[in-house]
Amino acid sequence: MPESSPHRGPNKVVILIGLLVVVPLLMVLLRAFSLSPPGYIESPLLEQAAPAFELPGLDDGALVTLDKYKGQPVVLNFWATWCASCPMEHPWLVRISDRFQGKAQFVGVAYNDKNEALKAWLAQHGGNAFPTLVDINGKVALAYGLYGVPETFVIDKDGVIRFKHVGPINPDLLVQQIESLL
Amino acid sequence: MTAFRITLLLAASLVLSAQSWTEDQGEAGTAEDEYALGVDVQAKLGQPSGPTLSGDALDDATAEVASRLRCPSCQGLSINDSPAETARNMKRQVRAMLAAGYDAEQINVYFESAYGEFVLMAPKVEGLNLLVWGAPVVLVVGGLLLVFGVVGKPREGTAEAPAPPPETDDPYLKRIREEVEGA
């Protein structure tokens, strides 16, 4: 057999170096793509104290703080009248809040909306089954790391965020989460 | 059946909420006080550690800090460049915090505590992130060394004629050599 070409040796080195460079880069790219869309990044607020807030109620404009609800699980649902999937989610929230009446407090936080629009929307969608607070400047939404609406947080009776859901809630999952905190 | 229901639900969520991500239908409320801070700001950060800003200094600092924060509902845009409602709210919050005396570092900490490190346009220079900062330099230097090493090195055997192949008794090999060399 003839001897192998003298160029074979360097090629192996180049391939090895290439693999050492390309494989980690591919891994980084795969990880980057797996993080998209950004709403699916785990919230750093999980297992942390829920950010305090003071917001006016939609009905009477009276200021409400999160502390008011301490002592029972709180379901904090960010929504808006311009949100496409909120009409689908609303009946589920109403039904589940009825089921946990007196055991868990549901609170709606209206994001970037106006009072008149909110009242009309609620009247059209079966009324206000639980308090709605108005976050016109979006300050509370920022404190909760909101990506869009709807988003739902489940806060335990000590004020710690135990669950966050981006997009319309899964009713079964929400019921499970609340029951686990009772 | 439950799995099918959940799949259907997720698909519907993605389709229906796609519109909400863009927030094109959002109706921005009128800010009564542009400089109002959320009640959680002081609880998270304590007292401001910078000077209070106003006028052109406030505008410049707002643009600078906002250009380093990522819009969470966009792809790859800073809140300074994005017209999205969330980005505008964030920029308003940055402005309010700078006016109150919070510095850029405190503002980064505030948004990072809610959105995670993702909200920073440039990853912090620490831990595994050092790879992101160091790898390009290492790759460029390593690549240059490799190129100069390979190109600059004289190829063995190129100055002389290749050594004649060893003699063989294999008739097939002999035939091939005759065909190739035209002997």
B86 contacts A146? CB cut-off 8 A: yes
Taking CA atoms, B99 is separated from A74, A145, B66, B70, B96, in Å, by 33, 22, 14, 21, 5
Per-residue pLDDT tens digits for A112-124: 898 999 999 999 9
Look-up of token digits 């192998």: A4
Q: Rounded CA gap, A128 and A126, in Å?
A: 7
What percent of chain B stands above pLDDT 70? 75
Per-residue pLDDT tens digits for B85-138: 889 999 999 999 999 999 999 999 999 999 999 899 988 777 777 777 778 888
Q: Are A107 and B47 in contact (CB under 8 A)?
A: no
Task: Measure the N-to-C terminal CA separation of chain B; round to a whole number of Å.
Answer: 78
Provide ipTM, 2 decimals. Answer: 0.77
B38 contacts A140? CB cut-off 8 A: yes
pLDDT, residue B156, reads: 60
Chain B: closest CA distance from residue A182 (Å):
25
B155 contacts A6? CB cut-off 8 A: yes
Give the residue on A whose Cα is nearest the Cα of B35. Answer: A137
Q: Mean of the per-residue pLDDT values for chain B?
A: 79
Three-state secondary structure call for residue A162: strand
The total of other beta-carbon atoms located within 10 Å of residue A107's CB is: 23
Q: Which one is predicted more confidently, B14 or A84?
A: A84
Q: How far is CA A92 from the centre of its chain?
A: 17
Three-state secondary structure call for residue B165: coil
Q: Are B2 and B71 in contact (CB under 8 A)?
A: no
Q: What's the pLDDT band for A37 if we cut at 50, 70, 90?
A: low
Domain residue ranges of chain B, discontinuous segments joined by +: 30-145
| Interface contact A74, partner B, CB < 8 A | no
Q: Which CATH number fits domain A44-181: 3.40.720.10, 3.30.2310.20, 3.40.50.1460, 3.40.30.10?
A: 3.40.30.10
pLDDT, residue B27, reads: 42
Chain A: closest CA distance from residue B10 (Å):
8
Q: Rounded CA gap, A141 and A150, in Å?
A: 11
Exposed e or buried b for every residue in B144-154, given b needs 16+ CB within 10 A? eeeeeeeeeee
Residue closest to B24 by CA, chosen among B68, B83, B93: B83
| Interface contact A6, partner B, CB < 8 A | yes
- Give yes or no for residue A100 having a pLDDT over 90: yes
Q: What's the pLDDT band for B182 if we cut at 50, 70, 90?
A: confident
Helices (H), A70-162: 86-99, 115-124, 139-143
pLDDT, residue B21, reads: 44
Q: Are A137 and A55 in contact (CB under 8 A)?
A: no
Q: Which one is predicted more confidently, A43 or A173?
A: A173
CB < 8 Å to B18, chain A: 84
A143 contacts B89? CB cut-off 8 A: no
- Averaged over A30-43, what is the pLDDT? 65
Omega prior to B136 cis, within 30 of 0:
no
Per-residue pLDDT tens digits for A51-80: 999 999 999 999 999 999 989 999 999 999
Question: Positive or negative, the Cα torsion across A158, A160, A165, A167?
Answer: positive
**B36 CB-near residues (< 8 Å, 6+ apart):** A137, A139, B96
Q: Are B84 and B23 in contact (CB under 8 A)?
A: yes
pLDDT, residue A21, reads: 82
Q: Mean of the per-residue pLDDT values for chain A?
A: 88
| Interface contact A112, partner B, CB < 8 A | yes
Topology classification of domain B30-145: Helicase, Ruva Protein; domain 3 (1.10.8)
Instruction: List the structure tokens of B44.
Output: 């998270």
Q: Are A21 and B135 in contact (CB under 8 A)?
A: no
Three-state secondary structure call for residue A154: strand
| Interface contact A117, partner B, CB < 8 A | yes
CB < 8 Å to A167, chain B: 13-14, 17
Q: What's the pLDDT band for B33 if we cut at 50, 70, 90?
A: low
pLDDT, residue A14, reads: 80
